Amino acid sequence: MAAEGVGVTDRVRDYTARFRRFLHDEVTPLEEQLASAGAGTAWQPHLDESGRMHPQVWQARREVQRRAASAGLYTPHNSEAAGGGGLSRVEMHHVEEFVYRESGLGLGLAALAWTEGPNPAVEHCSETAREQYLTPLMNGEITAAFANTEPDVGSDVLAMSTTATRDGSDWILNGHKSWITNAHFADVIQVVAVTEPGAGTRSLSMFLVDAAAEGFRRGRDIPTMLNDGLTGELEFTDVRVPAENIVGEIGDGFALAMSWINWRRLCRGGMCAGWGAWLLDRALDYTRQRMSGGKPIGSLQAVQHLLADMDAAIYQARATSLIAQAELDRLGPFDIPLHHDAPRLISLVKVINDESFYRVADNAVQARGARGLLLGSPEEKLFRLARNLRIPAGTVEIQRNAIARGLLRDREQVS
Ligand SMILES: Cc1cc2nc3c(=O)[nH]c(=O)nc-3n(C[C@H](O)[C@H](O)[C@H](O)COP(=O)(O)OP(=O)(O)OC[C@H]3O[C@@H](n4cnc5c(N)ncnc54)[C@H](O)[C@@H]3O)c2cc1C
């Protein structure tokens, strides 16, 4: 199906102009304050004695989130009904690409809601939960985590063992979640649990668990190659959850989890194109200055090919994202039930962007020689980050499964 409408709209132009001013007026002073605090930077935070992100770095990010929400920059992806900007996925690609390229690895990245902010799945909450959780999330007053993965279950979501059992109108949650982003700080957790064992894709439900709830405990930090002190474990022991904290209906958990995960998958488009372009800008600057044999290394064909391959990978990532997201805008990217053509398109965005960006980050390191390996340099950090991207929100192998399923399904329908 041919895609239409991949261009930049007035709404995107308005957002990016306001974002640029916000970076200059609000974020730069906060970044300067953070630099003098001795707590590390937004992308190389020092860690506390438990391995968690240094509280001053976390607070600086929170301040950016609150100010971005006040400035109407935090939730362009949420629906207008929820108080967000109601931007399409194509518009969000342009916004995300701009934000990542403009912010680089700076504090400004926190201005656009990410894993810890409001997402398409949580919009299915009750009226009571909307007041208690969704609106504060939209306003940047609180943060969230999404708890799906367990120590023994990642890709095989339906094999999870966290349970929720009915007790009157309440539900009692028991289980252990692992590898959860924002585990240490989240005020509310979107937990996916088994409510009807053996019911396949209807076996799971999603609940909002308040971090103040009795029986909820934050576990250890899980140090990863991101080294940001944000990933951890969560434990739920007889946590009582009221009916108004069910997201959607009982049995919707798998679809809601996919809605959350698909949101993250689609965000890869602008993220990889934006950071890729930022790395290419830096590589162009560096290779025009660094000398070898009396001339800039950028004049050597071997180095030019590194740059050209970066450009080709970024172009591929951006083009795939825009075309697929234009088709998804037509199909409904987060609808429940999701259109049967959507999973293949979403997985194409993720796998092509994850793998293209890995090549970009690898070349960015190579073009700098030893300096590319320098601990704490943007290239070194983004290389580690690019390697990470191929695993969370569904591994690249799981994306290939979905692509193949979509292809074979189409063929079965024709024959
Ligand atoms: C930094 C980070 C942040 C994360 N944040 C969150 C979060 O906020 N919330 C959350 O719930 N989870 C989170 N995760 C977990 C993440 O989603 C899982 O790690 C991911 O889904 C893979 O699961 P796994 O690690 O258990 O690997 P496994 O599922 O054990 O997979 C191991 C290997 O086997 C392959 N494999 C497994 N099954 C199949 C299959 N059916 N077909 C083909 N290949 C297969 C995989 O592709 C992989 O190569 C995070 C992980 C990381 C590293």
**Which ligand 1 atom sits closest to the C-alpha of 149?**
11
Residue 394 CA to ligand 1 center (angstroms) comes to 6
Nearest CA to ligand 1 atom 51: 392
Q: Which of residues 203, 232, 247 is at a domain's end?
A: 247
Does some domain include residue 210?
yes
Asked if 47 and 159 sit in the same domain, the reply is no
Tell whether 276 is covered by a domain: yes
Q: Which amino acid is at 66?
A: R
Whether 353 contacts 321, CB under 8 Å: yes
Same-domain pairing of 102 and 226: no
The rounded Å distance from CA 253 to ligand 1 centre is: 18
Asked, for residue 158, whether it belongs to a domain, the answer is yes
**How far does the centroid of ligand 1 lie from the alpha carbon of residue 94, in Å?**
28
Q: What is the pLDDT, as a whole number, of residue 2? A: 45
Same domain? For 258 and 399 the reply is yes
Instruction: Identify whether residues 219 and 295 lie together within a single domain.
Output: no
**Of 395, 396, 399, best ligand 1 pocket probe by most atoms within 8 Å of the beta carbon:** 395
Per-position b or e across 209-227, b if 16+ CB within 10 A of its CB:
bbbebeebebeebbeeebb
Check residue 410 and give its pLDDT. Answer: 79
Residue 235 lies in a domain: yes
- Please report the DSSP string for 272-288 in residue order: HHHHHHHHHHHHHHHHH
Give me the amino acid identity at 410: D
Domain span at residue 26 reads: 10-118
Domain end: 224, 247, 270, which one?
Answer: 247
In ligand 1, the atom with minimum distance to the C-alpha of 393 is 17
CA 397 to ligand 1 center in whole angstroms: 10
Name residues contacting ligand 1 (CB within 6 A): 115, 146-149, 154-155, 179-181, 224, 226, 231, 388, 391-395, 397-398, 401
Q: How far apart are CA 178 and CA 310, in angstroms?
A: 34
Nearest CA, atom 35, ligand 1: 397
CA of 97 to the centre of ligand 1 (A): 25
User: Residue-wise pLDDT tens for the chain (415 aa)?
Assistant: 445 689 999 999 999 999 999 999 999 999 999 999 999 999 999 999 999 999 999 999 999 999 999 999 999 999 999 999 999 999 999 999 999 999 999 999 999 999 999 999 999 999 999 999 999 999 999 999 999 999 999 999 999 999 999 999 999 999 999 999 999 999 999 999 999 999 999 999 999 999 999 999 999 999 999 999 999 999 999 999 999 999 999 999 999 999 999 999 999 999 999 999 999 999 999 999 999 999 999 999 999 999 999 999 999 999 999 999 999 999 999 999 999 999 999 999 999 999 999 999 999 999 999 999 999 999 999 999 999 999 999 999 999 999 999 999 978 876 6
Say yes or no: 275 and 380 in one domain. yes
Nearest residue (CA) to ligand 1, atom 52: 392
Alpha-carbon distance of 284 to 276, in angstroms, equals 12
Q: Give helix then strand counts, H and E, for the chain.
A: 11, 10
Report pLDDT for 1: 46
Co-location of 378 and 299 in the same domain: yes
CATH number of residue 110's parent domain: 1.10.540
243/258 same-domain check: no
Between the CA of residue 14 and those of 6, 10, 19, 140, what are the distances in Å?
17, 6, 9, 21
Between the alpha carbon of residue 27 and those of residues 109, 303, 369, 401, 412, the distances in Å are 10, 35, 32, 41, 53
Ligand 1: nearest atom to the Cα of 145 = 8
- b/e code 102-126 from CB counts within 10 Å (16+ = b): bbbbbbbbbbbbbbbbbbbbbbbbb
How many whole angstroms from 129 Cα to the centroid of ligand 1? 29
Nearest CA to ligand 1 atom 24: 154
Claim to verify: residue 265 and residue 358 sit in the same structural domain: yes
In a domain, 126, yes or no: no
Same domain, 401 and 334: yes
The total number of structural domains that make up the chain: 3
Query: What is the structure's pLDDT at 323?
Result: 98
Of 215, 247, 279, the residue at which a domain comes to its end is: 247
Residue 133 domain flag: no
Answer yes or no: do 347 and 300 share one domain.
Answer: yes
State the pLDDT at residue 147.
98
Query: Which amino acid residue places its CA nearest to atom 30 of ligand 1?
Result: 154
Q: Among 122, 148, 155, which residue has the most ligand 1 atoms within 8 Å of its CB, making it the best to mutate?
A: 155
Provide CB contacts within 8 A for 13, sequence distance 6+: none
Residue whose CB lies within 8 A of the most ligand 1 atoms, among 179, 207, 230, 384, for a mutation test: 179
CATH label of the domain that carries residue 216? 2.40.110.10
- Tell me the CA–centroid distance for residue 387 and ligand 1, in Å: 13
Q: Would residue 231 count as lying in a domain? A: yes
Are 407 and 259 within one domain? yes
302: tokens are 């071997």
Counting from 1 in the atom list of ligand 1, the atom nearest the Cα of 115 is 8
- Centre of ligand 1 to C-alpha 153, Å, is 8
Q: Which amino acid is at 89?
A: R
Calculate how far, in angstroms, residue 155's C-alpha sits from the geometric centre of ligand 1: 5
- Quote the ligand 1 centre to 150 CA distance (angstroms): 10
Q: H or E stretch including 259?
A: helix 253-289
Which residue from 204, 233, 391, 401 has its CB within 8 A of the most atoms of ligand 1, so it is best to mutate? 391
384 with 332, same domain?
yes
3-state SS class at 154: coil
Question: Could you tell me if residue 94 is inside a domain?
Answer: yes
Ligand 1 centre from 162 Cα, in Å? 17
